[in-house]
């Protein structure tokens, strides 16, 4: 099997969804004729014609349009170019989409998929750098997932599109063109939810998601040199969240760390720790949160690096759980 990029995996999933189900439509800013500003939707307009179209720069109309079309039986897949831009139209997601099934007692549904991407990359300004997953995950009625590998970029998106309720798929701009892998494109659609253990270990369970998975995997390799065995869990879905897999892992290792690129306060990492603690899983050390400092994201690469935990910071902090004297 040939390796494809994360962006190509998203493209392949969209193609399959559009080919398999004539009720799917794909729209957003610059997604059709230009093929997306990141090239993710290339050729889909050519193949599927008017089921793939460009919109005005009107996020409220894009998201609200998806809600209404979904109520009428279409399966809209819409792109919000940067997650930061969802804020100009939060009403349509939070007050509208998330309420459709519940308030109508199931007489109406909004089977819509919102694709977006987030995170800081060198030079991205404060309005193009935020990690907003906790804001979405806070809203009952919105499903949220964050693929971290090409296979998951393919699988999670197909699962999202097949879901009968609104799902926000948060992709990673940093991974679009930098990460390649083989992708099985013929499998059945996976059920919604489910974490993946990327690396087994016996000393610490680390839960992470999105591009931070790769930072954590690197940190785990660094710690291997100090004979520390790290289990790395990619949460993938924040809603529904796979508490069972995490709790089972922590019950073996006795230690829990969460690592995310989103800033610390109110981050989803805190929720994960709360869930494990509530389960009564015994911990041999206090749980650890590694996250971006609570600040706006600066543009200068050197400043960004100082704010966002990289491999060495993650490794040092994890090490501090086992050897408190060595602390960060």
Partner 1 sequence: MSHSLTATALADLAGLWRIRCFEETVTRLRVEEQIVGSVHLCIGQEAIPVGACAALDLTRDAVFATYRGHGWALACGADPAALFAELLGRETGTNGGRAGSAYLSDPDHGFYGENSIVGAGAPIAVGAALAARYDGSGRVALTVFGDGAMNQGAVHEAMNMASAFDLPVVFLVENNRYSELTPIAAMVRNADLVARSAAYGMPGARVDGNDVDAVRRAVAEAVDTCRSGRGPVLIEAHTQRLVGHYIGDAQVYRPRDEVELARTAEPIVVLTAALRAAGVSDAELTGIETRVRAEIETAAAMALAAPPADPNAVKEHVYG
Ligand X SMILES: Cc1ncc(C[n+]2csc(CCOP(=O)(O)OP(=O)(O)O)c2C)c(N)n1
- Residues at the interface with partner 1 (CB under 8 A): 29-30, 33-34, 37, 54-60, 84-85, 87-89, 121-128, 293-296, 298-303, 305-307
Q: Mark out the alpha helices in the chain (DSSP H runs).
A: 6-20, 44-48, 59-71, 90, 100-103, 133-137, 150-162, 173-176, 212-224, 243-253, 268-278, 301-307, 311-322
Interatomic CA distance for residues 326 and 147, integer angstroms: 33
Q: Is 272 exposed, middle or buried (0-12, 13-18, 19+ CB in 10 A)?
A: buried
Nearest distance from C-beta of residue 129 to partner 1, angstroms: 10
Decide if 214 is catalytic. no
Partner whose binding site includes residue 306, from partner 1, ligand X, none (CB under 5 to 8 Å by kind): partner 1
CB 7 within 8 A of CB 19: no
Partner whose binding site includes residue 200, from partner 1, ligand X, none (CB under 5 to 8 Å by kind): none
Q: Which of residues 24-63 bind ligand X (CB under 6 A)?
A: 29, 57, 59
Nearest distance from C-beta of residue 291 to partner 1, angstroms: 14
Nearest distance from C-beta of residue 122 to partner 1, angstroms: 4
Q: Is 284 exposed, middle or buried (0-12, 13-18, 19+ CB in 10 A)?
A: exposed
Nearest distance from C-beta of residue 79 to ligand X, angstroms: 10
Partner whose binding site includes residue 278, from ligand X, partner 1, none (CB under 5 to 8 Å by kind): none
- What single string gives the DSSP state of each residue in 288-324? EEEEE-SSPPPSSHHHHHHHS--HHHHHHHHHHHH-G
Partner whose binding site includes residue 191, from ligand X, partner 1, none (CB under 5 to 8 Å by kind): none
Out of 38, 45, 128, 177, which one is annotated catalytic?
128
Q: Which of residues 80-139 bind ligand X (CB under 6 A)?
A: 81, 85, 88
Binding site for ligand X (CB under 6 A): 29, 57, 59, 81, 85, 88
Catalytic annotation, residues: 128
């Amino acid at each position: 099997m040939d390796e494809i990029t994360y962006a190509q995996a998203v493209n392949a999933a969209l193609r399959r969804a559009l080919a398999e189900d004539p009720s799917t439509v794909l729209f957003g800013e610059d997604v059709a004729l230009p093929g997306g500003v990141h090239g993710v939707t290339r050729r889909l307009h050519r193949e599927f014609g008017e089921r793939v179209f460009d919109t005005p720069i009107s996020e409220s109309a894009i998201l609200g349009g998806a809600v209404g079309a979904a109520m009428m039986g279409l399966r809209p897949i819409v792109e919000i170019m940067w997650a930061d831009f969802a804020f100009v139209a939060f009403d349509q997601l939070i007050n509208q989409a998330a309420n459709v099934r519940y308030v109508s007692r199931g007489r109406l549904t909004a089977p819509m998929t919102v694709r977006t991407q987030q995170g800081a990359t060198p030079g991205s300004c404060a309005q193009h750098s935020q990690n907003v997953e906790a804001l979405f995950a806070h809203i009952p009625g919105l499903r949220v997932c964050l693929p971290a590998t090409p296979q998951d970029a393919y699988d999670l998106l197909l699962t999202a599109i097949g879901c009968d309720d609104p799902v926000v798929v948060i992709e990673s701009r940093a991974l679009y063109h930098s990460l390649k892998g083989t992708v099985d494109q013929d499998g059945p659609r996976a059920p919604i939810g489910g974490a993946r253990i990327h690396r087994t270990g016996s000393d610490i369970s680390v839960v992470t998601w999105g591009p931070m998975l790769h930072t954590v995997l690197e940190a785990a390799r660094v710690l291997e040199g100090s004979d520390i065995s790290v289990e790395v869990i990619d949460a993938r879905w924040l809603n529904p969240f796979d508490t069972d897999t995490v709790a089972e892992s922590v019950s073996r290792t006795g230690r829990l760390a969460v690592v995310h690129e989103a800033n610390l306060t109110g981050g989803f990492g805190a929720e994960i720790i709360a869930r494990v603690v509530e389960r009564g899983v015994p911990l041999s050390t206090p749980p650890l949160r590694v996250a971006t400092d609570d600040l706006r994201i600066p543009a200068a690469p050197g400043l960004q690096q100082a704010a966002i935990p990289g491999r060495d910071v993650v490794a040092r902090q994890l090490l501090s759980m086992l050897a408190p004297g060595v602390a960060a």
